[in-house]
Amino acid sequence: MNTTAPGASHDRARSPAERVSGFTRLPRRGRNALLVLLGLVLVVDVSLYLSEPDQTWRSIALGLAATLATALFAWWPPAAVVMLSLTALLETATNEGGPQLLHLVVVAGLVVYTCPGWFIGAYVVCTVALAGLTATVPGAFSSAALPVLAMVMVVSAGIGWALRTAHRRVRRFARDIEQLEQARREAIHVERERIADELHDIIAHDVTLVSMHARVLERVDDQALREQSIRAIRSSADQALADIRRMLRIVRDDRPGTPADHGAHASVASALDEVTSALRRLGAQVTVRARLAAEMSAAIEQTIVHVLREGATNIAKHGAGAPVVSVVVETVDDEIRVELTNTVGDVARAPYVPSSGYGLDRLRERVTLLDGQLVSESRSGSWVLRVHLPLR
């Protein structure tokens, strides 16, 4: 499953100014449109300069510099604003004020779209100051042009603000959609884990018993044992079919919750009877000692049920001959202890049943979530599965 955080790829694509100081780079289509427009403007400027031989090289250079500076909005907005301000200032200093100030006013929309509030404020102050200086240049423009420049600046800034708001809304919607998609993927993953747990904890147990008794039928000639195995196969198969039907109802049910919430709750007492009967049908000598607290949470009770079923399934798979099995479930102080011990015997004589280790791994996860401990180890010719679960 993909673990990349939403928006991570977008962060990698952002410019340094955007990541550090809150500047926003133009979207790809906006950058392309800006560059195409500036290319056309550049062609027109060059044509006008060539058709007017009285233009000075200084004014031509300032005009080209302003056009190229505007292109920086596609990558580095603060640099674009600084360069445009410098060209307007140089034009005013050389008594040629006017065109570059108009250029600086027109790009107000780009400034509002790409720059943070503090930078927009600095831009407005700088533009107003340059307008005041330019008004002192003879022949630059009349004082009546100042309201027109202000109106152009306000309209351009308004367009930039509207586009910026729309762009932020689209990005917010995209993030929301990504978060919803991530939540959907996680919900599907959780549901698959739940179904896999059900398959292993219940159906795999019944199918293992069917497999074990089928192998018993291949090895023994005693009619009584064969009839016992046939009854066990029939019982386990019927139980597996019932569990499959119940699982299908759970999968089709729209109600949230775990299998226990849908009527799949099993008590420790019923689980003890179930695993004891199953192991005895396999020929195991089973002793049980149960002494539980009067009250326990549903999560702890279901975990104990899983421990008993997983332990019994492993004994059925790997126990050789007629193993001696001890099952202990008791409350000691503030914790519940579950221990299943079985003799190993002659492993070479035991029927081979493949095992993936999935059940024990998932059981360890369940126990860990409840702050418990699980130990599975070989000890003096026996195999021990021990689980401690705190009651509080």
The CATH number of the domain where 379 resides is what? 3.30.565.10
Tell me, yes or no, if the pTM score tops 0.75.
Answer: no
Q: How many domains does the chain have?
A: 2
Query: What tens digit of pLDDT does each residue of 29-63 get?
Result: 877 787 788 778 777 767 766 666 666 666 677 77
Does residue 338 lie within any of the structural domains?
Answer: yes
Domain that holds residue 366: 266-392
Which of 107, 124, 141 marks a domain boundary?
141
Query: Rounded CA gap, 113 and 120, in Å?
Result: 10
Does residue 42 lie within any of the structural domains?
Answer: yes
Which of 141, 167, 182 marks a domain boundary?
141
Residue 144 burial (10 A CB sphere; 0-12, 13-18, 19+):
exposed
User: What integer pLDDT is reported at residue 79 of this predicted model?
Assistant: 80
What average pLDDT does the chain have? 76
Does residue 261 lie within any of the structural domains?
Answer: no
Does residue 371 lie within any of the structural domains?
Answer: yes
Query: Rounded CA gap, 255 and 267, in Å?
Result: 23
Which of 79, 112, 141 marks a domain boundary?
141
Does residue 146 lie within any of the structural domains?
Answer: no
Confidence tier at 12 by pLDDT (50, 70, 90): very low
Does residue 260 lie within any of the structural domains?
Answer: no
Question: Which residues lie below 8 Å from residue 14, measured CB to CB, with a gap of 6+?
Answer: 25
Out of 179-183, 310-314, 321-325, 337-341, least confident range: 321-325
Question: Which residues lie below 8 Å from residue 27, measured CB to CB, with a gap of 6+?
Answer: 167
Does residue 22 lie within any of the structural domains?
Answer: yes
Does residue 128 lie within any of the structural domains?
Answer: yes
Query: Rounded CA gap, 108 and 115, in Å?
Result: 10
